[in-house]
Structure 1
Amino acid sequence: MSSNRFLGAALAAAARGWSVFPLQPHSKIPAIKNWPQEATTDETRIKEFWPPKSRKNVGIATGPSGLHVIDLDTHHGLDGPAALYRLATQTGARATLLTYSVATPNNGRHLYYQVPDGLHLPNTAGLIAPGIDSRGHGGYVLAAGSQTGDGNYRVLTPRPPSELPPWLLRLLTPPQSHAPAANPGAPLSHPGAYLRAIVDAETRKVTAAVHGTRNTALFWAAFRLGRLVGGGELDQRLVHDGLAAAAAVHIGHYQFTARELERTITSGLTIGARRPRHLPTATNSR
């Protein structure tokens, strides 16, 4: 472990696969230009950023790190933690608040969530609720071990980040009138081998999911395949029916119903279609 707490914090974050860059001492301001491109997990580069006596804070570039961080504020009469807890309770998803978390000065919280490759969620301010911001593509947060004039950032829950839960994703991606709709008559109603392999992999994940992960697995499978539906690569009905068949094995177990199955698939397909994915022509052959 490094004797320099800031270098140690940077290396600890990088060991988790998170891209880091230096901030000015006791500050939230980047100490380098082009930090989105300069953020790194490379140990040699990190040691160059933080020489032995450096007091620079540690920034984590959330987008390159595959993270979306929920920032819960308690300033100016706001109570972000309580607001998020209420929302999670209303959706019956309090367990999804269990993820890697950092205590910020003034009793705030940062909740770290993993996002799938290719999902670029922007930063938000008050979109979920007053006192709740988030940092995603194009944003950054101060890593645990950093220090400002208000106090220290410290690890609160050291467990690995959970996957961003579907209910939070829905709140972070409100309906958009210009978003492309899923096309039930997309060109590839009979996908080629490459696309079949993608569909098969996703449906296997759904069938193999266990209680506690079942809804999340079904939602993210629908989301990923919904991106291909939105891009005109897959037929919506084919995808829907494949996911429904894969998830049907869970009906009747732990109160899982056909109605819940339908709602989860529809939600995942709809949100996924707003972020179309197009495959290279070379792989998109029948």
Structure 2
Amino acid sequence: MTAVMDLRAVALAAAARGWPVFPLRPGGKTPAIKRWPQLASTDNDRIHHWWNTNPRYNTAIATGPAGLHVIDLDAGHMHPPATDFSEALARLTAVLPGPVPATLTIATPAGWHLYYRAPNQPRLRCTVARIGEGIDSRGHGGYIVAPGSRTPHGDYRIIDHRPVTDLPDILINRLTPPPPPVLPAGDWTSSTVAQPDSYLAAILAAEADRVAHARLHLRNHSLFRAALVLGRLVAAKEISEHHARTVLTTAAEAHIGVEGFTAAEADRTVSNGFRYSRARPRHLHR
């Protein structure tokens, strides 16, 4: 069996567990198809069609439809960087009121993924550093790279084969989003914020507030405008696309299911805003 065929097997194995998958670019982590939130599938025929198109595709698992919430321990973004899994796990437990249960664990080129079964309620979306420094998570609206996928920086491989266990209450409590911030006008302008990091944080909070409190008939327009603002920062590499998308999709969550507004529409609107702002990067003065 060649390595090329193995990559198809990765997708089929994940789908066999009931986890909807879709293809990623060969050797990479970015989607190889458009509209992946709608097209992720466990259907073998669709999977074979994708990998017949390019047998070198990596595999992504759509975490929300899979019923998963995955804790991402990013060793390099911890301070100081974690040197091994035991140390990274200790960093996680250090910021929680108790230990987390062992579960299916994947070593990634940058750290480790802990797979947990997501609760039905609350509906947990992706987070960035909400749990702690260098500790992100992937839930509704996100995806993770499946074990068996390969990148130039390393492979994704299982290091603990035990079954996926339920996301513990201590993590559910930490991951449940707080009420959206309410900022007085002017608290986030450059004239009142001295530090660039504070300025960036204030911009993110202001755009999240704009989206969360948008009027019913303006919510899509408000989300698009906010995506344009944050998309320019993404284009300038002031913030990662994942971080910007998480801020906006979390803010838009209050609108999901109201008067027909869907998560797919929110994702599409954010993607459009990022695409239109790509050619207009905004660099913050540092």
Q: TM-score, structure 2 length as denominator?
A: 0.56
- Quick check: 1:83–1:129 contact (8 Å CA) kept in 2? no
Shift of the alpha carbon at 1:100?
Answer: 0.8
Q: Deviations over 1:51-96 (max 9, x none)?
A: 28610000000011011110001115433953543453675743x3
Residues 148 and 15 of structure 1: CA distance in aligned 2, closer, same or farther (over 3 Å): same
Residues 174 and 42 of structure 1: CA distance in aligned 2, closer, same or farther (over 3 Å): closer
Identity of aligned residues (%): 50
Match of residue 149 from structure 1: 152
CA distance in 1, matches of 2:109, 2:154: 5
Q: TM-score, structure 1 length as denominator?
A: 0.56
Superposed CA RMSD in Å reads: 2.9
Match of residue 122 from structure 1: 125
- Quick check: 2:127–2:136 contact (8 Å CA) kept in 1? yes
Residues 177 and 50 of structure 1: CA distance in aligned 2, closer, same or farther (over 3 Å): closer
**Secondary structure at 1:37's aligned position in 2?**
helix
**Secondary structure at 1:75's aligned position in 2?**
helix
Q: Following superposition of structure 1 onto structure 2, how do residues 66-85 of structure 1 map, counting pairs within 5 Å?
A: 66-76=67-77, 77-79=80-82, 82=87, 84-85=89-90
**Secondary structure at 2:75's aligned position in 1?**
coil
Matched, 1:176 2:163: no
CA distance in 2, matches of 1:46, 1:9: 11
Residues 119 and 46 of structure 1: CA distance in aligned 2, closer, same or farther (over 3 Å): farther
1:98 equivalent among 102, 116, 129 = 102
- Gap regions ≥5 residues in structure 2: 182-253, 255-286
Match of residue 17 from structure 1: 18
- Gap regions ≥5 residues in structure 1: 179-274, 276-286
CA distance in 2, matches of 1:90, 1:74: 15
CA distance in 1, matches of 2:31, 2:22: 8
One-letter amino acid matched to 1:142: V
CA distance in 2, matches of 1:92, 1:133: 18
- Quick check: 2:75–2:88 contact (8 Å CA) kept in 1? no
- Quick check: 1:78–1:130 contact (8 Å CA) kept in 2? no
One-letter amino acid matched to 2:47: I
CA distance in 2, matches of 1:91, 1:58: 31
Q: Following superposition of structure 1 onto structure 2, how do residues 123-272 of structure 1 map, counting pairs within 5 Å?
A: 123-173=126-176, 175-176=178-179
**Secondary structure at 1:60's aligned position in 2?**
strand
Match of residue 31 from structure 1: 32
- Quick check: 2:97–2:170 contact (8 Å CA) kept in 1? no
- Quick check: 1:10–1:20 contact (8 Å CA) kept in 2? yes
